[in-house]
Structure 1
Amino acid sequence: MTESMGPLVGYVHSDDLPWVNAGPVGLQVLRVSADTWVVRNRFQAGFQLPTHKHTGSVHAFTFSGRWRYKEYGVDYVAGTFIHEPPGSIHTLTIEEDSDILFIIEGAFIEFDKDGNISGIVDGESTLNAYFALCDAAGIPRPDGILP
C-alpha cells in the first residue's frame, strides 16, 4: 500500500516577516485563518492590555521578559508555556520588556473599566492592523503569512 503525502506543510520564517510597532507593542503576524491566529509580540515594560475574555483557547510561549495576568498573581518568565481555556478573563500586564508568541483560537472581547464591551479583536482585525502599520511605516506588506 502506498500512502499519499497529503498537502504540503506550510511554513514561514520569522526573518521574512517585518516587525511593526504600535506604541509600546511590537507585532509580527505569522498566521491567520478563519479560526486561529498566531502572533508574536514584543511588549515594553508597563504596558497593559484591557481586561478581556477569550472565546477560544490560547497557547503562549515566553521567549524573554516577565509578564502576568493581574488577576492571577503568577509571573510568566522566559521559557514559560501557558494554556488559557476558552472563557478565561484577565488583564495582561507587562512587568519587564517581553517577547511572547501567542496562538489564539477565536477572538477576544475587550471590556472597559465598568465591565462593558469596548472592542472585539480577532485574526482578521489583527491582520488588517498589521498591514496598516506596515503601510504607515513604508514597509511592503509581506506575502508569506500562512492562511
Structure 2
Amino acid sequence: MTETLGPLVGHVHTDDLPWVNAGPVGLQVLRVSADTWVVRNRFQAGFRLPAHKHTGGVHAFTFAGRWRYAEYGVDYVAGTFIHEPPGSVHTLTVAEDSDILFVIEGAFIEFDDEGAITGMVDGESTLAAYYALCDAAGIPRPEGILS
C-alpha cells in the first residue's frame, strides 16, 4: 500500500500576524474557514461583550488575566481551557486584562438587555473587521489565515 500526502497543513506564526485594536479589545485573527474561525483577543479590564448565543461550539484557552461569563459565576484564569456547547448563551465580562484564544464554530448572535437581536458575528465579518483595522492602521493585510 502506498501512502499519499493529503493537502498541505496550513500554518501561521503569531509573530507574523498583526495585532489591531478595536477600542478596549486587541484582535489577532489566526484562521478563518467556512465553518470555523480562530482569534486571539486581549481584553482590557472592565470590558463586557453583549449577551450572545453561539450557533456552534467554542473552545477557549486563557493565556493571562481573569474573566467570566456573568451568568455562570466561574472565573477563568491563566491556564484555563473551556468548551462552550452550541446554543450557549452568556455575557463575557473581564475582571483583569486578559489574553484569550478562541476557536469558534459557526457564529454568535448578539442580544440587547431586552433580549432583542442586535447583531451577528461570524468568521467572515470578523475577518472583514480585522482587515479594515489593518488598513486603517497602515498595516499590510496578513496572508495565510484563510482556509
Gaps of 5+ in 1: none
1:107 counterpart letter in structure 2: A
Contact 1:16 1:144 in 2 (8 A): no
Runs of 4+ in 1 over 2 A off after TM superposition: none
- Quote the Cα distance in structure 2 between the aligned partners of 1:33 and 1:2: 30
Match in the other structure for 1:67: 67
Q: Cα deviation per residue 1:87-131 (whole Å; 9 max; x = unaligned)?
A: 000000001000000000000000001100000000000000000
Gaps of 5+ in 2: none
Q: Cα deviation per residue 1:62-102 (whole Å; 9 max; x = unaligned)?
A: 00000000000000000000000000000000010000000
1:141 counterpart letter in structure 2: R
2:20 counterpart letter in structure 1: V
- Quote the Cα distance in structure 1 between the aligned partners of 2:98 and 2:10: 27
Please give the root-mean-square deviation of Cα atoms over the aligned residues, in Å.
Answer: 0.6
User: What is the 5 A alignment of 1:105-124?
Assistant: 105-124=105-124
Match in the other structure for 1:144: 144
- Quote the Cα distance in structure 2 between the aligned partners of 1:11 and 1:130: 18
The farther-off stretch of 1-10 and 51-60 is 1-10
Say which SS state the counterpart of residue 140 (structure 2) adopts.
Answer: coil
Match in the other structure for 2:78: 78
Match in the other structure for 2:4: 4
Q: Cα deviation per residue 1:35-67 (whole Å; 9 max; x = unaligned)?
A: 000000000000000000000000000000000
Deviation at 1:13, TM superposition (A): 0.3
- Quote the Cα distance in structure 2 between the aligned partners of 1:134 and 1:6: 33
2:19 counterpart letter in structure 1: W
Contact 2:55 2:105 in 1 (8 A): yes
Deviation at 1:5, TM superposition (A): 1.6
- Aligned residues, how many? 147
Matched, 1:126 2:113: no
- Quote the Cα distance in structure 2 between the aligned partners of 1:106 and 1:145: 17
| Amino-acid identity (%) | 85
Match in the other structure for 1:102: 102
TM-score normalised according to structure 1 size: 0.99
